[in-house]
């Protein structure tokens, strides 16, 4: 029997991602959105898995239900934001938690089974004292909690990977939610290309410090190459000038100035 899973699902940056050149879709009479490919099928599959207990954890708050109407699924409970009375009680129980993390801790306080939280930007918000940083530490110390980040790393972004539920994370999401029966439906809708073997999205939190260092190093190399190229151009132009020179003193002055330029670079 499949173990019960409490799912906290964000909207913006997960199933709703605005992209250049993409026309917004009418989600309800008064709301438009940018659903990623396969969103409707994804929500329907979750809704049809009896072991998954989904909750919206989004700034859409109660308006999250328009996505249930749009996808023709049942109304899911809304975890965020907390009502004022709930918030006061939650802060007493979890004084170090805040914002979405506080809501997740509150709604999962009596849950004894697995917890999956799908959000954009866990690894981008790992600063000391941040809500997401606290959530990461909580997951690292709790084996039943799994965080799935829908923001690609710097390396993945260079390879064309986009934010949201996409080809590069859908299999990991299916594994986390024990989706097997309708797995092919989602793969056909979402996984339009296969990432290479160097994909590192299987990790919960992926630091990008090394990538940033590589970027800086590349920028330095490009700058150096540009300086060398400029110097070579100067030499070429000087050689052309030599043929036209009739005054040797003028020629020596130009050579001297050229070496001065070389030393400054």
pLDDT in tens, 21-79: 899 999 999 999 999 999 999 999 999 999 999 999 999 999 999 999 999 999 999 99
Q: Average pLDDT of 141-168?
A: 94
Q: Average pLDDT of 110-134?
A: 85
Distance from chain centroid for Cα 45: 23
In 3D, which of 158, 135, 157 has the Cα closest to residue 205? 135
Q: What is the pLDDT of residue 226?
A: 42
Give the CA radius of gyration of the chain: 27
Kindly state the helix (H) or strand (E) to which residue 159 belongs, with its residue range: none
Q: Per-residue pLDDT for 206 more than 80? A: no
Q: Per-residue pLDDT for 114 more than 70? A: yes
Q: What is the pLDDT of residue 130?
A: 79
Q: Per-residue pLDDT for 103 more than 90? A: yes
Q: Per-residue pLDDT for 19 more than 80? A: yes
Q: Is 167 exposed, middle or buried (0-12, 13-18, 19+ CB in 10 A)?
A: middle
Q: What is the pLDDT of residue 124?
A: 74
Q: Tell me which of 156 and 263 has the higher pLDDT.
A: 156
Q: Percentage of the chain with pLDDT > 70?
A: 70
SS3 212: helix
User: 5-206 domain in CATH 1.10.10?
Assistant: no
209 Cβ neighbours under 8 A, 6+ residues apart = none
How many angstroms separate the Cα of 255 from the Cα of each of 103, 156, 230, 252? 72, 49, 16, 5
Kindly state the helix (H) or strand (E) to which residue 2 belongs, with its residue range: none
Q: Tell me which of 182 and 232 has the higher pLDDT.
A: 182
Q: CA angle, corner 171, sides to 167 and 175, nearest 5?
A: 160
Q: Average pLDDT of 93-104?
A: 96
- pTM, two decimal places: 0.73
Task: State pLDDT tens for residues 221-264.
Answer: 433 344 444 444 544 454 444 444 444 445 555 555 555 544 54
Q: What is the pLDDT of residue 43?
A: 98
Q: What is the pLDDT of residue 55?
A: 98
Cα distance between the two ends of the chain: 70
Q: Average pLDDT of 182-195?
A: 78
Q: Sketch the domain layout of the chain as residue ranges.
A: 5-206, 211-264
């Amino acid at each position: 029997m499949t173990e019960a899973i409490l799912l906290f699902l964000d909207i913006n940056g997960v199933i709703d991602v605005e992209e250049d050149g993409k026309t917004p879709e009418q989600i309800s009479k008064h709301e438009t959105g940018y659903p990623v490919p396969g969103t409707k099928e994804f929500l329907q599959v979750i809704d049809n898995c009896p072991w998954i207990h989904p909750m919206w954890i989004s700034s859409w708050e109660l308006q999250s239900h328009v996505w249930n109407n749009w996808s023709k699924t049942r109304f899911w409970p809304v975890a965020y934001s907390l009502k004022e009375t709930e918030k006061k009680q939650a802060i007493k129980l979890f004084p170090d938690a805040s914002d979405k993390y506080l809501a997740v801790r509150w709604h999962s306080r009596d849950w004894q089974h697995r917890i999956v939280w799908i959000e954009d930007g866990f690894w981008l918000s790992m600063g000391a004292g941040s809500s997401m940083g606290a959530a990461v530490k909580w997951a690292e110390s709790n084996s039943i909690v799994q965080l799935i980040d829908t923001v690609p790393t710097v390396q993945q972004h260079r390879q064309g990977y986009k934010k949201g539920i996409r080809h590069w994370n859908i299999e990991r999401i299916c594994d986390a939610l024990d989706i097997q029966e309708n797995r092919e439906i989602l793969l056909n809708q979402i996984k339009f290309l296969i990432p290479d073997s160097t994909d590192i999205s299987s990790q919960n939190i992926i630091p990008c410090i090394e990538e940033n260092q590589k970027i800086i190093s590349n920028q330095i190399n490009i700058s150096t190459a540009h300086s060398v190229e400029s110097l070579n151009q100067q030499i070429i132009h000087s050689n052309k000038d030599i043929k036209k020179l009739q005054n040797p003193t003028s020629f020596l002055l130009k050579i001297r100035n050229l070496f001065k330029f070389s030393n400054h670079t």
